[in-house]
Amino acid sequence: MALLRTVTSPYRGVRSERKLVLKLLKQGFSPIALYHDLYVEKYPGHYAQIDTVLVTKVGIIVFEVKDYSGWIFGNGKQRYWTQVLAYGKKKYRLYNPFMQNEGHIVALKKRLSCFADVPFYSVVIFYGSCQLRDISNIPYDSYIGYPADVKYIVRNILDRNKTAYYSDKMGVVSVLRDAVACGKDPMVVNRHIHNVRNSMFRH
């Protein structure tokens, strides 16, 4: 609990997100480089909620955390993926997590001009008892896996990419800290929930 508190509150976000933060801390990443439950304004009154951001020497890793059971089928180029339950008897759709995370990255880039010079990496981690059955067309610089894969995925990103140039390190930290602070505002959080629910009914 004390280790988690170096980055976030034990009551903030959902449990799987906090598990990911704790896992990254235990792998040796500094609390200064980790940000949890960020709210980034896309345009007035509309926010992108980002689960976890890890700032590294090769760029910024943006994590999207999912918690599902059943089988998950998905194509990186399709807007919706499929969750299958009860051995095929029940099927539900979920928004493509890579597209969702790309929206988060775009929102971050808009907040600071120096972000344009820094590489971004999209990582989707599925918690729960789900099985990733047929995942294809994963976008470039994007990764998907289970909690047990986090260490390998991050290590792969760090080992296979060159050191990034941060032209404004303090600016990056400031934007990320502000986004975390924004998530402490009940009005912002409630507005985001309201917007998400409305968008679900429109599709």
The predicted pLDDT at position 1 comes to 85
The predicted pLDDT at position 196 comes to 56
Task: Calculate the average pLDDT of the chain.
Answer: 91
Over pLDDT 90: what percentage of the chain? 77
Rounded mean pLDDT, 110-133: 92
pLDDT band at residue 136 using 50, 70 and 90 as cut-offs: very high
Q: Which of 51, 164, 34 is nearest to 101 (CA)?
A: 51
**Looking at 150-154, 189-193, 196-200, which range is the least confident one?**
196-200
The predicted pLDDT at position 189 comes to 64
**Looking at 64-68, 82-86, 170-174, 186-190, which range is the least confident one?**
186-190
Supply the Cα-derived Rg of the chain in whole angstroms. 17
The predicted pLDDT at position 26 comes to 97
The predicted pLDDT at position 199 comes to 59
The predicted pLDDT at position 42 comes to 83
Q: How far is CA 164 from CA 73, 81, 119, 184, in A?
A: 34, 33, 7, 30
- The single-letter DSSP state of residue 33 is G
Q: What is the pTM of this model?
A: 0.91
Answer yes or no: is pLDDT of 10 > 80: yes
The predicted pLDDT at position 187 comes to 76
Query: Tens digit of pLDDT for each residue in 20-76?
Result: 999 999 999 999 999 999 999 887 878 889 999 999 999 999 999 999 999 999 999
Q: β-strands 46-56, 34-43: how paired?
A: antiparallel
Specify the residue for token string 């929930």: 193
Return the SS3 of 152: helix
Rounded mean pLDDT, 14-18: 96
The predicted pLDDT at position 200 comes to 52
Residues 174-198 as b/e (b if ≥16 CB within 10 A, e otherwise) read: ebbeebbebbeeeebbeebeeeeee
